[in-house]
Structure 1
Amino acid sequence: MTKVKRYHPLLMLFDLWQLLKNIFFIFIFLFIIKAGSQSLFITYGRLLFFIVCGVSFIYIILKWVTHKYGLDDRCFYLYKGILCKSERTIPFSKIQNVNRHTSLFHRMFNVTSISFETGMTGEDAAVKYEVVSKKEAERMEEFIASAVHEEAMNLSLLEMAVEKVDSNRVIHFKPMKKDILKASFTSLSFLLFIPLLLSFYSKVDDIFHVVEQTKGIFFSIIGSWWIVTTIVIVLIMASVGFGIARTFLKYGKYEISSDQDRIYITKGVLDETAFSIAKEKVQAIEIKQSILKRLLGFAEVKLTSAGSLSLGEEKLEINSLYPFLPDGRAYDMISEILPAYEVTQKMNRLPKKSLWFRVFSPSWIWMISSAALFYFKPAVLGIEQAWWIISAALLMVVVAARWLDFLHTQYILNDRFIQFKKGSLTTSLFVSKRDKVIEVKVTRNIFQKWLGLASIETINRAKPIQHNEIVDVPVDFAVSFYKWYMGRRKEIEIE
């Protein structure tokens, strides 16, 4: 084992920065908004504030002194605890994904953060280094790469450099300016500007009482149509500019690349994030399209992994190849990056009896809402009998959603692959290999038995466990599905 060492000294400054961000609004409330208050609640609150800050500051120093780490050619060794000491050993063979995140703080000091995600669950499922030098991060990856290579597991972790792409890598996608512009409108980021502006105005008003001081100015402004028009135009332009800027900062340096063994995703202009996953660790693929993306011809390809696909605030986003890929390019990219996966666009549709079963199945949402409307009988726009109109409209929405879900639902068994699509307004296409499915379920209720239908479900390793279900398929397909899964025995080797 290499020498046990303390974490980077800048970790104390990083933890202090996190503490300041967490207590900022409490400080504003206690010492600025309530500056003149003499109540016991505020007085004791200020005292508690100083105690918490002092204890936290001492803890940050003690944590850096007592927490250490080391690694050899096979494992991570983590030591922590101030009063109660503990030691963790994480074998490199458990590593699923490698995530790097370089925030503005890290860039200022030329450091980075890195997380080695495992397939385990719980708080200690990942080996995280919040602050580490880039050289040390590369050294860790080299240790893992050499160890895995020696064990001949075909899970080689190659050096992941954010600023340089290895000559063996193939770059599959880099967004152009027009892609960023389309993404800014498709993501509806511009709609966030007005709520953010109102939230900021509300906080300023709480401190400086702006509303009371500007009443006269406000009424004079709304009394002039050309001033109102100018303000509206400025707000629209500012919203559009905000949406474009926000999208550029998030996806401006987006890059998808791969080599023989791994997939690499880098993103971010100010806060840089890099993600790496072994192709063999991909449990499933999901192609999602909202109604707006379908109209504009976009799709989002997501990867399912047994390890956590997150780092800090990037949770639930970093597993996406790119949220705004042209739908044709999305299918092509899957075959380029993951040649072991086969995606077919020709699938089977549900029989018509599935539609009738869905339409006439009871809707608890509609029944409970209608009962509440009948009991309260609210008058809407002066119409006393509006409750039954709302109930009828809700029933039409439920039926329309079920009809759309019927139209979009498709399924197929393709040799070693299972593939199905479902959804009403937002559709999801799921693809997985048989050896990556850890469990299946086939269920039938009494009505499905009468109509010769069934529901099937697959379960894949992920965080959390991924369940994918398709309902009201013909019972013959459900039987074939179960037999197809039993063929997994020939593909799985038990150690």
Structure 2
Amino acid sequence: MTKTKRHHPLLMLIHLWTLAKRFIFFVVYLFVIKADSESSFIIYGRIIIFAAFGIMVITIIWTWFTHKYKLDHKSFHLYKGIFIKSEQTIPFSKIQNVHRHTSYFHRVFKVTSIHFETGMTGEETTVKFEVISHIEADRLEAHIKSTDGDALTTDDVKDTKHANLNRNIHFEPTKMDILKASFTSLSFLILIPLVGSFYSKINGIFHMEKEAKGVFMNIISSEWMVTIIIMVLVIASVTFGIVRTFLAYGKYQISSDHDRIYITKGVIEETSFSISKEKVQAIEIKQSIMKRLLGLAEVKLTSAGSFSSDEETLEINSLYPFLPVKRAYDMVSEILPSYEVKQKMIRLPRKSLWVRLIKPSWIWFIATAILFYFRPSILKVEQAWWILSAVLFILIAVLRLLEFMNTRFILNNQFIQFKTGGMTTSLFISKRDKIIEVKVTRNIIQQMIGLASIGTIHRAKPVHHAGVDDVPLELATSFYHWYMGRKNEIKLE
């Protein structure tokens, strides 16, 4: 068992910075904008702000002194409490994912943060170290992987680092991959609203609209000036999109060893994530329209652990959002050899299409009712409302046709695999022993023509639901009996 330790002292600095950001508005208002005010409200407000800030500073320092941790051969032990002491024990066996994030602040002080995510429910199910040295983070991560229960030495940690260098690297994006990603994500379009937002803020302060009106009229009256401005905006937008994508995915790497999958990304702010292969509940391969046109796909992992932090929700359950389709399929088999992905699957019967087409669309009913009530005139066409209603009706029918054409399914020994979606498709693969619940439902129309809907539930945060509608009744029955066979595969902890 290791000795009890306090968290890194820089944790107080981070909390003080967060506290300062929360108080900045009140400080500016009370001490800058209302600096000359002698109102009782302002005077007492300043006193309250001083008192509250002082109390919070003392609380931050006191909290650092009272919050401690230690490790034994099988658990984290967390101690906290100022007036009421508490101890929390989290077994290593419950840890699903390990997430590291190195922000610019961390890089300046040569530290990092590390979160150990668990699959347990309730509050405080994550062991968080918001500031920690790289050596201590390596030691903690190596400790939870050790099986002998002995305290790790510096040499043990170095051996673990050496083993990390021998991981199998499955993917690192090339320059062409980054270029494709920048266009697929449409990140170059973000510059336009950013410029608009910046201008509106500047205009609100300096009232530039009147002064800029004359300049604007002179510019639009010159064709060559308009052409140059458009070209500059296009080049700037594309450059911005490429740079933004490079900063996010420039140092992306997917690797694995015998037990875990590792994902690292980020140029300025670095994020690394690892998940135990045994904890992967399901795999999802998604394609948007743009990705289908460019032959790209995104592979996502469903895990019982959380994929978020206090500051942001992180898409680190995605292996890489812009993988070539063939590489995506091959990578699943490389990283998770226990999973099988079948290229050929069973299509829905034709009667499923008619069920989908005759199903009432509430969107169309509501939209048509609104159009009928207001009867808008478009391009001087007074009866345009029913044309819009007809277009919407056709669009909904086309989307349902696409969903029917894309939907496929297959039961493959201990695996279930199905593909759904219209404009965006999703291929879902899972193992029988990873599914915690299944359901088979039938509405009146499905009962009349021998169809059913099947669904699965997986342990995740939030709970993950997946399924296929309008499958043959025979498949639904086989699906239910297939799931009952899991009792021979479940391993109790």
Compute the TM-score of the two structures, normalised by the length of structure 2: 0.92
The aligned amino acid for 1:358 is R
Q: What's the CA shift for 1:75?
A: 1.4
2:120 corresponds in structure 1 to: 120
Provide the secondary structure at the position in 2 that maps to 1:234.
helix
Bigger mean CA offset, 184-193 vs 75-84: 75-84
Separation (CA, whole Å) in 2 of partners of 1:61 and 1:267: 33
Q: Does 1:106 align with 2:106?
A: yes
Separation (CA, whole Å) in 2 of partners of 1:397 and 1:245: 37
Provide the secondary structure at the position in 1 that maps to 2:164.
coil
Q: What's the CA shift for 1:76?
A: 1.1
Bigger mean CA offset, 108-117 vs 200-209: 200-209
Separation (CA, whole Å) in 2 of partners of 1:392 and 1:35: 62
Provide the secondary structure at the position in 1 that maps to 2:123.
coil
Q: How does 1:187-202 map to 2 (within 5 A)?
A: 187-202=185-200
| Structure 1 residues 366 and 44, CA gap change in structure 2 (3 angstroms) | farther
Q: What's the CA shift for 1:182?
A: 1.0
Provide the secondary structure at the position in 1 that maps to 2:320.
coil
| Structure 1 residues 453 and 416, CA gap change in structure 2 (3 angstroms) | same
Q: Does 1:140 align with 2:140?
A: yes
Assess if the C-alpha contact under 8 Å between 1:66 and 1:81 holds in 2.
Answer: yes
1:154 corresponds in structure 2 to: none
Provide the secondary structure at the position in 2 that maps to 1:330.
helix
| Structure 1 residues 484 and 38, CA gap change in structure 2 (3 angstroms) | farther
Separation (CA, whole Å) in 1 of partners of 2:417 and 2:140: 38
1:12 corresponds in structure 2 to: 12
Q: Does 1:341 align with 2:316?
A: no
Assess if the C-alpha contact under 8 Å between 2:453 and 2:471 holds in 1.
Answer: yes
Separation (CA, whole Å) in 2 of partners of 1:231 and 1:36: 46
| Structure 1 residues 159 and 234, CA gap change in structure 2 (3 angstroms) | farther
Provide the secondary structure at the position in 2 that maps to 1:221.
helix
1:305 corresponds in structure 2 to: 303
| Structure 1 residues 494 and 16, CA gap change in structure 2 (3 angstroms) | same
Q: Does 1:467 align with 2:489?
A: no
Assess if the C-alpha contact under 8 Å between 1:33 and 1:206 holds in 2.
Answer: no
| Structure 1 residues 63 and 351, CA gap change in structure 2 (3 angstroms) | same
Q: What's the CA shift for 1:378?
A: 2.6
1:351 corresponds in structure 2 to: 349
Assess if the C-alpha contact under 8 Å between 1:33 and 1:207 holds in 2.
Answer: no
2:60 corresponds in structure 1 to: 60
Residues 391-426 of structure 1 show CA distances to partners (whole Å, capped at 9, x for unaligned) of 111111111111110010000000000000000111
Q: What's the CA shift for 1:141?
A: 1.5
| Structure 1 residues 241 and 43, CA gap change in structure 2 (3 angstroms) | farther
Separation (CA, whole Å) in 2 of partners of 1:24 and 1:338: 49
2:153 corresponds in structure 1 to: none
Bigger mean CA offset, 427-436 vs 76-85: 76-85
Residues 254-304 of structure 1 show CA distances to partners (whole Å, capped at 9, x for unaligned) of 001111111111000011011111111111000000010000000000111
2:171 corresponds in structure 1 to: 173
Separation (CA, whole Å) in 2 of partners of 1:31 and 1:267: 42
Q: What's the CA shift for 1:313?
A: 5.0
1:91 corresponds in structure 2 to: 91
Separation (CA, whole Å) in 2 of partners of 1:149 and 1:122: 30
Bigger mean CA offset, 356-365 vs 314-323: 314-323
Provide the secondary structure at the position in 2 that maps to 1:412.
strand
Assess if the C-alpha contact under 8 Å between 1:99 and 1:310 holds in 2.
Answer: no
Bigger mean CA offset, 300-309 vs 72-81: 72-81
Assess if the C-alpha contact under 8 Å between 2:74 and 2:149 holds in 1.
Answer: no
- Count matched residues: 488
Separation (CA, whole Å) in 2 of partners of 1:37 and 1:424: 62
Provide the secondary structure at the position in 2 that maps to 1:166.
helix
1:282 corresponds in structure 2 to: 280
Provide the secondary structure at the position in 2 that maps to 1:345.
coil
Assess if the C-alpha contact under 8 Å between 1:100 and 1:311 holds in 2.
Answer: no
Residue 388 (structure 2) aligned to one of 378, 387, 390? 390
Instruction: Structure 1: give runs of 5+ residues left out of the alignment.
Output: 152-157
Separation (CA, whole Å) in 2 of partners of 1:143 and 1:256: 23
| Structure 1 residues 39 and 255, CA gap change in structure 2 (3 angstroms) | farther
The aligned amino acid for 1:257 is S
| Structure 1 residues 21 and 403, CA gap change in structure 2 (3 angstroms) | farther
Q: Does 1:239 align with 2:237?
A: yes
1:399 corresponds in structure 2 to: 397
Q: What's the CA shift for 1:202?
A: 1.9
Provide the secondary structure at the position in 1 that maps to 2:299.
strand
Assess if the C-alpha contact under 8 Å between 1:118 and 1:126 holds in 2.
Answer: yes
Separation (CA, whole Å) in 2 of partners of 1:40 and 1:346: 76
Provide the secondary structure at the position in 1 that maps to 2:273.
strand
Provide the secondary structure at the position in 1 that maps to 2:300.
strand
Residue 228 (structure 2) aligned to one of 227, 230, 241? 230
| Structure 1 residues 162 and 323, CA gap change in structure 2 (3 angstroms) | farther
1:155 corresponds in structure 2 to: none
The aligned amino acid for 2:441 is T
2:81 corresponds in structure 1 to: 81
Q: What's the CA shift for 1:367?
A: 1.0
| Structure 1 residues 30 and 255, CA gap change in structure 2 (3 angstroms) | farther
Separation (CA, whole Å) in 2 of partners of 1:297 and 1:22: 46
1:455 corresponds in structure 2 to: 453
Residues 234-273 of structure 1 show CA distances to partners (whole Å, capped at 9, x for unaligned) of 1111111110010000000000111111111100001101
Q: Does 1:332 align with 2:355?
A: no
1:130 corresponds in structure 2 to: 130
Bigger mean CA offset, 338-347 vs 305-314: 305-314
The aligned amino acid for 1:293 is K
Residues 181-238 of structure 1 show CA distances to partners (whole Å, capped at 9, x for unaligned) of 1111111000001111111222222333333443433333333332222222111111
Separation (CA, whole Å) in 2 of partners of 1:30 and 1:221: 43
Assess if the C-alpha contact under 8 Å between 2:73 and 2:149 holds in 1.
Answer: no
Separation (CA, whole Å) in 2 of partners of 1:106 and 1:461: 33
Assess if the C-alpha contact under 8 Å between 1:113 and 1:131 holds in 2.
Answer: yes
Assess if the C-alpha contact under 8 Å between 2:142 and 2:160 holds in 1.
Answer: no
1:259 corresponds in structure 2 to: 257
Bigger mean CA offset, 357-366 vs 55-64: 55-64
The aligned amino acid for 2:104 is L
| Structure 1 residues 36 and 420, CA gap change in structure 2 (3 angstroms) | farther
| Structure 1 residues 60 and 400, CA gap change in structure 2 (3 angstroms) | same
Separation (CA, whole Å) in 2 of partners of 1:378 and 1:48: 56
Report the RMSD for the aligned CA atoms in angstroms. Answer: 2.7
Bigger mean CA offset, 352-361 vs 52-61: 52-61
2:436 corresponds in structure 1 to: 438
| Structure 1 residues 295 and 202, CA gap change in structure 2 (3 angstroms) | same
Bigger mean CA offset, 159-168 vs 418-427: 159-168
Separation (CA, whole Å) in 1 of partners of 2:47 and 2:213: 38
Assess if the C-alpha contact under 8 Å between 1:111 and 1:132 holds in 2.
Answer: yes
| Structure 1 residues 382 and 132, CA gap change in structure 2 (3 angstroms) | same
Compute the TM-score of the two structures, normalised by the length of structure 1: 0.92
| Structure 1 residues 92 and 80, CA gap change in structure 2 (3 angstroms) | same
The aligned amino acid for 1:75 is S
